[in-house]
Structure 1
Amino acid sequence: MTASISFRGVTKTFPVRGPGGARQRTEFTAVDRVDLDVAAGEFVVLVGPSGCGKSTLLDLLGGLTRPTAGEILLNGTPVTGPGLDRSTVFQQYALLPWRTAQGNVEFGLESIGLPRRQRAARAREYLGLVGLAGFEDRHPHELSGGMKQRVAIARSLAYDPDVLLMDEPFAALDAQTRESLQDELLRIWRRTGKTVLFITHGIEEAVYLGGRVAVLTSRPGRVKAVLPIDLGSRGEAQEAQDLRSSPEFARHRHEIWSLLRDEVSRAQQLEKEAAPV
């Protein structure tokens, strides 16, 4: 089962200490009145300048924090906390170094009380899904960065969440590995039909992965535009072509950069103003 997501007027503020300490506490607004709908089984990418609240939105959807105003619905039900219907893949792999690849995938299954034999079978199944069959007994230090991220993805998928939240999962990887894992992720998404909300700073990554791309403003983050991405069918034949060099890809990339340019400049100016003299 996949899930639909709805952000309705979502605002999140954080208390900050002013120059006078606790007596001058103020509020910092990370995201402001965000409205965004994600259909069940859709792959949506969030892009925006640094500090615009992309990760805050993922934390809110993950139930790690609550909105100051507005609400987030998952299949029409308000999100009030973490749940097994959502799983997050971070930039840092967060693998347990003393566990093998299989042991890391099994870790999440232990928390839901799955019997040992079923845990082992499911871990092998999902390691195979991410292309790591034969590497079940390797420890993290024996795996490349790309392989570690594959283990993290397998761990997130193994307990069958409805929604996969991905917070710049490929940012730390080299360009070749990143592109390879982008293709792998699209293959997994097509096979599993999960609802995916993916954060990136990379415009090309956003265009390549997203069925739609939501562009956020500089702080506080608001939805500036949501753009559909039409690159045609992405079946096996299409994947053999270099989509990144196509006119359609270039058009989408230019459209997103045109929306982001002013926001990036504004974010840089805000950073300068906030920097200590």
Structure 2
Amino acid sequence: MTSGIELRGVTKDFVVRPGRGGPGTSVLRALEDVSLCVPPGEFLTLVGPSGSGKTTLLDLLGGLSRPTAGSVLVDGREVTGPGLDRGIVFQQYALFPWRTTLANVTFGLEQLGLTRRERTERAREHLALVGLDGFEDRYPHELSGGMKQRVAIARSLAYRPGILLMDEPFAALDAQTRDQLQDELLRIWRATGTTVVFITHRIEEAVYLGQRVAVLSSRPGRLKALVDIDLGDRRSTNDLRSDPAFVRYRHDVWTLLHDEVRRAQEAGHLKVQPDGTERAA
């Protein structure tokens, strides 16, 4: 069953221990007063400068940590810890190297009380859904990076969660594989109707995937803007990224994000490396 998400005034602080010879403990505010509703079945993408609290927000949604103030709700019930109603896909695949593709997907199903046959059937169903039919007996070292990430997605979907949380799952992949998996993810989302919250640092990816793009401010992360993306049926054109509407949305999000990156640099929260990449200070 598809689920909806609500954040109500969420603030998250971390206690920072002093370094050697430094002052006493201090408090780092990662998120401040974030309120957001994600309707059931929506695909929401989330962008923000490095250090803006994107992963912290996903951890709160997954129940991996608790807010300092405010509340996180799924279908009106407060999130107090991890649950099978929320699947999580990280940048790292976290597959068991000694287990086959099929066994990696069935592993998490063992706690559902299913028979071995039921677990196997469900795992095969979801491997087929992500395009890995016929690869059930392969081990992780026999798979490409894109295929490993498909296994991780299948493993999360096999629970049949109402919500899928994704933390830059395609960041480590080459451009061609990333574009292919973006299309595959949209196909899977249409087929399952799952609510998706997808973190990315790539503006083009955020616009291509999301029905809405949430833009976080520099630290402490606040919800700066929600950009509605209306590109019609993304399957109707072979070159969507060159469409004038796509280019306009990308520019709008880039403008919002560029201002926050500049503020983060001015505040000393973000350093830009010689190669142009960002690093939280």
Pairwise TM-score range, normalised by the shorter structure: over 0.9
Deviation by residue 1:62-95 (Cα, 9 ceiling, x = unmatched): 1111000000110111111111100100000000
1:254 aligns with 2:229: no
**Unaligned residue ranges in structure 2 (runs of 5+):** 272-278
For residues 170-249 of structure 1, the aligned pairs below 5 Å read: 170-235=170-235, 238=236, 240-249=237-246
Tell me the CA shift for residue 22 of structure 1: 9.1
For residues 32-47 of structure 1, the aligned pairs below 5 Å read: 32-47=32-47
The verdict on how the C-alpha distance between 1:92 and 1:39 changes in structure 2, with shifts beyond 3 A counting, is same
**Contact kept in structure 1, 2:48 and 2:218, CA below 8 Å:** yes
Indicate the residue corresponding to 1:53 in structure 2: 53
Q: Aligned partners of 1:181 and 1:19: how far apart in 2?
A: 42
Indicate the residue corresponding to 1:81 in structure 2: 81
**Contact kept in structure 1, 2:261 and 2:270, CA below 8 Å:** no
Tell me the CA shift for residue 267 of structure 1: 2.2
Tell me the CA shift for residue 271 of structure 1: 3.6
The verdict on how the C-alpha distance between 1:245 and 1:60 changes in structure 2, with shifts beyond 3 A counting, is same
Q: Aligned partners of 1:21 and 1:208: how far apart in 2?
A: 48
TM-score normalised over the length of structure 2: 0.93
Deviation by residue 1:174-206 (Cα, 9 ceiling, x = unmatched): 000000000000000000000000000000000
Q: Aligned partners of 2:112 and 2:257: how far apart in 1?
A: 42
TM-score normalised over the length of structure 1: 0.95
Q: Aligned partners of 2:97 and 2:23: how far apart in 1?
A: 44
Q: Secondary structure at 1:96's aligned position in 2? A: coil
Indicate the residue corresponding to 1:3 in structure 2: 3
Aligned partner of 2:262 among 240, 260, 265: 265
Q: Secondary structure at 2:6's aligned position in 1? A: strand
For residues 107-146 of structure 1, the aligned pairs below 5 Å read: 107-146=107-146
Q: Aligned partners of 2:95 and 2:85: how far apart in 1?
A: 21
**Unaligned residue ranges in structure 1 (runs of 5+):** none
Tell me the CA shift for residue 26 of structure 1: 1.2
Q: Aligned partners of 2:57 and 2:148: how far apart in 1?
A: 25
Q: Secondary structure at 2:16's aligned position in 1? A: strand
Q: Aligned partners of 1:179 and 1:257: how far apart in 2?
A: 19
**Contact kept in structure 1, 2:214 and 2:227, CA below 8 Å:** yes
Q: Which runs of 4+ in 1 moved over 4 A?
A: 19-23
Q: Secondary structure at 1:111's aligned position in 2? A: helix
Q: Secondary structure at 1:59's aligned position in 2? A: helix
Tell me the CA shift for residue 266 of structure 1: 2.2
The verdict on how the C-alpha distance between 1:116 and 1:208 changes in structure 2, with shifts beyond 3 A counting, is same
- Bigger CA drift: 253-262 or 106-115? 106-115
Q: Aligned partners of 2:114 and 2:265: how far apart in 1?
A: 48
Indicate the residue corresponding to 1:26 in structure 2: 26
The verdict on how the C-alpha distance between 1:19 and 1:177 changes in structure 2, with shifts beyond 3 A counting, is closer
Tell me the CA shift for residue 113 of structure 1: 2.4
Q: How many residue pairs end up in the alignment?
A: 271
Tell me the CA shift for residue 23 of structure 1: 7.0
**Contact kept in structure 1, 2:63 and 2:81, CA below 8 Å:** yes
1:90 aligns with 2:90: yes
Q: Aligned partners of 1:3 and 1:153: how far apart in 2?
A: 18
Tell me the CA shift for residue 19 of structure 1: 5.6
